[in-house]
Chains A and B, each alone.
Chain A
Amino acid sequence: MSARTPLSRATPTRDVTSALDPQAQERAEDELIMHLERDQFVAETSRPVPRAPLGAWASGSLWALRVFVVVVSLMVIYTFVDQLH
């Protein structure tokens, strides 16, 4: 198994109790679980990752880039409409 990522926790190991479980379906589930890393389960990926607010410099730069991109996009759309006429 791979090295752990910061988001991951230990992949559940196969337990003796599950091997003794009479229900075949649950045994099959245990075997399938072995092939997934813990943080790959839908139950895990459903949990949002912690928020990491952008710093003032990064946030300001992103907003500036955002505004610039919107303005240029509007120019491209205007040119597109103008060319139609």
Chain B
Amino acid sequence: MGTPEVAASSPLLRQPRLTEEDTARSRDRSRVHHARRHRKRWHLLWLLVGPGILAMLGENDGPSMIAYAADGAQYGLGFFVPFIPLLFAMAYVCQEMCMRVGAVTHRGYGELVLQRYGRVWGWFVAGDLTLTNLVTLVAEFVAIRVGLAYFHLGAGVAVALGLALVVFTLSGGRYWRWERIVLGLAAFNGLFLLAAILVKPDVGAIAGSLDFTPFPGGGFNTLLLLLASTIGATVTPWMIFFQQSASADKGMTPSDVAHGRYDTALGAVLAAIFGIGALIAGAALLSHGGSGIQGFAGAGFPQALERVAGGAAGTVFALGLIEAGAVAILTISASTAYAAGECIGASHSFNSSPRGAAVFYAANIGVALLAALVILIPGAPLLSIALNANVLATVLLPVSLVLLVILANDKDLMGPWVNKRSTNIVGIGVIAFVGVCGAAYGIDSFLQAVHLIGS
């Protein structure tokens, strides 16, 4: 972190000299104070939204949207239309805790775990994050590549686009600038809703699927894979790191917790709507051999949608995949950078210059670069990597969630903002559900792989 200095100007009141990070954050906070003082409610909301929407829409990433579309293509709308909002309700419970802990303590998740509960746990969660982030980032580049392939552009363009975006968004040296650029990009996640409209779905069938039926058919392992990958498409370790650190970096305080909840809830609602959009678009392929589509072979889904619903639907879906991958690259790289800075004890803020936060900037660009290089390897198993990214995230998630609940119940840290009993009950329920689904899939698949049980 920046060097703490003490101002010598006032012997009566020794206060810390402002670092560049403090100065930038203070300017952002002055606008928040002004809006609050003058009761400009909408302006205040505009200033305070960001981390929640970005965490939720960032998780509507390339592999997630392909997973939703694949669910629709293979099983239709039944079960998934109500299941996706249910999962985002679970994600809201987790992300609200992250936002609250970040706003109250002004510290990131990795930093708090490491300092509060020791280096072993800090490095464990950082290790989980790095592994899942790297795998997921590869999948994001794959999604961009799939989207670009529809326009006859290759892997090199996908790599260049992703890396250029990371460098461009980092170039301002301000959290506010980074957040607003990524929010602007994330708005295009709505393309999946447009794709759903373009396939002219049966509204009656959508309404009729709200009772969780028909339940997806297929084998037990297929069902577990669906559950694990769909959970991994809504709640992941990087979201925990990202939203808590971003809330602190944005300068949120306990006064902003209510707006942080609006931000997180809005993100969850938008992400659920757009996710269902991808599901509906995919479901258009159900009666056209959708179950046989290999989403990563050539242009995959966009090409198939073009044949079934017209060129506009295919184009919009392809653009949506590019957007979903691009936004996720930015947010997931940021979460890795926050974690690296927090665990090493180096400056970790978008409000610091690259010179002042070299580790943060290097990790941000480095992890994206590493993932980009993987998709350039000829013959790399990109399809398998993308499909397993969500499952791995689901399997590794419970430890991060347990530590998050412990932090949110830490009275010394949180004071009156500790979890309510109802939040704890729901939070523990979410952990149990995620843990059981992830573990059941992992164990069942392993037993099949070693031929101890039949498929």
Contact = CB atoms under 8 A, between A and B. Distances in A.
A54 B117 contact: yes
A2 B255 contact: yes
A3 interface: yes
B445 A79 contact: yes
Interface string B341-385: 000000100000000000000000000000000000000010010
**Most-contacted residue by chain A among B27, B106, B417 (CB, 10 A):** B106
Nearest to A29: B18
B384 A83 contact: yes
Contacts of B13: 12, 15, 17-18
A72 B121 CA distance: 18
Interface string B115-128: 11110010010000
A69 B417 CA distance: 30
Nearest to B104: A5
A60 B115 CA distance: 19
B33 A42 contact: no
Contacts of A21: 9-10
Interface string B384-403: 10001001100110110011
B4 interface: yes
**Most-contacted residue by chain A among B251, B391, B414, B449 (CB, 10 A):** B449
B21 A42 contact: yes
Nearest to B116: A52
B442 A75 contact: yes
B406 interface: yes
Contact of A78 (B1, B115, B435, B446): B446
**Interface range on chain A (Cβ under 8 Å from partner):** 35 or more
Interface string A1-45: 111111100001001011001010010010011011101111111
Nearest to A36: B26
B415 interface: yes
B415 A6 contact: yes
B255 A35 contact: no
B217 interface: no
Given A5-B415, A46-B4, A76-B392, A62 B121 contact: yes
Contact of B402 (A12, A41, A62, A83): A62
Given A49-B107, A54-B117, A62-B399, A76 B416 contact: no
B256 to A, nearest CB: 8
B438 interface: yes
Interface in B395-424: 395-396, 398-399, 402-403, 406, 410-417
Contact of B10 (A3, A17, A32, A75): A17
Interface in B235-259: 248, 251, 253-255
Nearest to B415: A6
Contacts of B117: 51-54
A32 B7 CA distance: 14
A27 to B, nearest CB: 10
Which 9 A-B residue pairings sit nearest by Cβ, starting from the closest? A43-B4, A75-B446, A43-B16, A2-B255, A72-B442, A32-B26, A35-B29, A46-B1, A79-B445
Interface of A: 1-7, 12, 15, 17-18, 21, 23, 26, 29, 32-33, 35-37, 39-46, 48-54, 58, 62, 65-66, 68-69, 72-73, 75-80, 82-84
